[in-house]
Homo-oligomer: A and B are copies of this chain.
């Protein structure tokens, strides 16, 4: 099988149902009320005003980290659990192994980079407005059967 590891088929409104290849990409349909689509107003987190909450999540001794379908489904599940709005998603499957993915949200983003051979994945869940980034943690732990999960929280833009 030929490997075109950096080839990625972009899908947009003009190319519905395009086949997946080494990478997946998808962009959401237009909103019917576009006058204000920003969901990332400054927010309060435990009484602290900030632009957004940024969770740094590390998964250790995890499984399924080379399964691009599982990873994409899990990112989507995270967006739903957090009650966020998905604008664009892109995943890249490396050779010989590993996946990188980003989901661009109205409330900022989720990113994932996996090292399957080490059972390790690095994620960022950056959300603003009314989305709830904490809801992603159990989703990730379960999806990847991670034996250890480390979570740090940064309140971005406190000084803005």
Interface residues of A (CB under 8 A from B): 3-15, 23, 25, 27-31, 34-38, 40, 42, 51-52, 54, 56, 58, 60, 87-88, 90, 92, 94-98, 100-102, 104-106, 108-109, 111, 113, 115, 118-120, 122, 124, 126, 128, 148, 150, 152, 154, 156-157, 159-160
Contact = CB atoms under 8 A, between A and B. Distances in A.
A109 B25 CA distance: 16
Given A52-B122, A100-B108, A30 B7 contact: yes
B29 A6 contact: yes
Contacts of A95: 34-38
B126 A113 contact: yes
A134 to B, nearest CB: 19
A27 B7 CA distance: 8
A38 B109 contact: no
A13 to B, nearest CB: 7
A160 B120 contact: yes
B4 A119 contact: no
B15 A10 contact: yes
Contacts of A87: 6, 8, 23, 92, 100
Contact of A98 (B23, B40, B56, B122): B40
A32 B62 CA distance: 32
A29 to B, nearest CB: 7
Ordered nearest first, which 7 A-B pairs have the shortest CB separation? A10-B12, A120-B160, A5-B34, A10-B10, A7-B30, A5-B37, A38-B94
